[in-house]
Amino acid sequence: MSVLKLEYAEEIQRLKKEKNAIILAHNYQISEVQDISDFIGDSLKLSRLAGETDASIIVFCGVHFMAETASIISPNKKVLIPDLEAGCSLASSINPQELLKWKGENPDAMVVSYVNTSAEIKALSDYCCTSSNAVKVVQSIPKHTPILFLPDMFLGAYVAEVTKRDNIQIWPGECHVHAGITDKDINLMLKKYSKAEFLVHPECSCTSSTLYHVSKGDINRDCKILSTEGMMKEASSSKNDQFLIATEVGILHRMQVENPFKEFIPVKKDAICKYMKKITVEKVYNSLLNDVHEVKVPEKIAKRAIIPIERMLAIS
């Protein structure tokens, strides 16, 4: 870290104490941002952690829908995102008008929305889910009930494959990162690193296509499908010292920090979320100093959006 960044980091620590603030960083943030954060993890875990702290201000270093979720779960806290342009291509693949039309065409269906969606979409949904609990959420719904699954088409296809339900309609959305990770890329790397343990992160839209290809047999190596913490625990406890990671490359920093004598290899080096990388240490400092940019979900939407989130948590 440069001298300038160290100065920013010191000021950030001072401002945190002064303002009773906490900094959360998603696993795919740049390494410098992870290093100044209080907690690192997946979006839902971070939002829940934020709600459990006594902090007055949450600086969410992630993308916009994550800050919205933190606001929904912690309505009495001020939630800030350092860069308003930190969006999500997957979340943007469906809007409320499209969902209302889809629901109107299927009035008897239950709507299951991946957490990578806006607060407005959550407010129109019956259940939320993550990649790791999507199968369990769908299985909790009576088999005869039609399901509208959105917005990730690969995760939806995976869930349909595992549950063997033929009454799931799937929205054709995808994120710009996982669209570039293919079973051919994975098999090439598995052949090159024949002794590496293959780990797949289930709570990331970027790996939902991988999960689908594993279920279909397109990927010819056993893999371990683990949550963020499960992946970190596996990396630490496994006797293997080499790992192939099929997800956004930002998580490799945390893996290496916690396991300095092991090797972590990305399946695809350019699996980079350009939105996640918009946040910098300088922007975190500016956010804390000037209380920008606040993300506040309107109360009417928040009250409706918390229902599918709570249903998901009850099932999980």
Domain-by-domain residue ranges, the chain?
A: 3-87+276-296, 91-174, 178-266
- Tell whether 128 is in a known binding site: no
Smallest CA-to-CA distance from 151 within 124, 119, 116 is with 116
CA distance 86 to 88: 7
Helix 3-19 vs helix 281-290: crossing angle, to nearest 10: 30
pTM, full prediction: 0.89
- Is residue 273 part of an annotated ligand binding site? yes
Domain 178-266 class, CATH top level? alpha beta
* Number of neighbouring beta carbons within 10 Å of residue 229: 12
What does the chain come to in residues? 316
Q: Is 202 annotated as a binding residue?
A: yes
Q: Which helix (H) or strand (E) holds 216?
A: helix 208-216
The enclosing H or E element of 283 equals helix 281-290
Please report where in the chains the tokens 């933190």 appear, as a residue: 70
Residue 206 DSSP symbol? G
Residue 280 labeled ligand binder: no
Is 26 annotated in a binding site? The answer is yes
| CATH fold label, 91-174 | Rossmann fold (3.40.50)
Question: Residue 228, annotated ligand binder?
Answer: yes
pLDDT in tens, the chain (316 residues): 665 677 899 999 999 999 999 999 998 999 999 999 999 988 778 888 888 989 999 999 999 999 999 999 999 999 999 999 999 988 999 999 999 999 999 999 999 999 989 999 999 999 999 877 889 999 999 999 999 999 988 888 888 988 999 999 999 998 777 667 777 888 899 999 999 999 976 544 444 566 667 667 777 677 887 766 778 889 999 999 999 998 889 999 999 999 999 999 999 999 999 999 999 999 999 999 999 999 999 999 999 999 999 999 888 6
| Residue 257 annotated in ligand binding | no
Q: Are domains 91-174 and 178-266 of this chain identical in fold? A: yes
User: Was 116 annotated as part of a binding site?
Assistant: yes
As its CATH architecture, domain 3-87+276-296 has 3-Layer(aba) Sandwich (3.40)
Q: Does 98 show up as a binding residue in the annotation?
A: no
Alpha-carbon span 168 to 160, nearest angstrom: 7
210 assigned to a ligand binding site: no
Q: CB-based contacts of 293: which residues, under 8 Å, 6+ apart?
A: 80, 81, 82, 83, 84, 287
- Say whether 114 counts as a known binding-site residue: yes
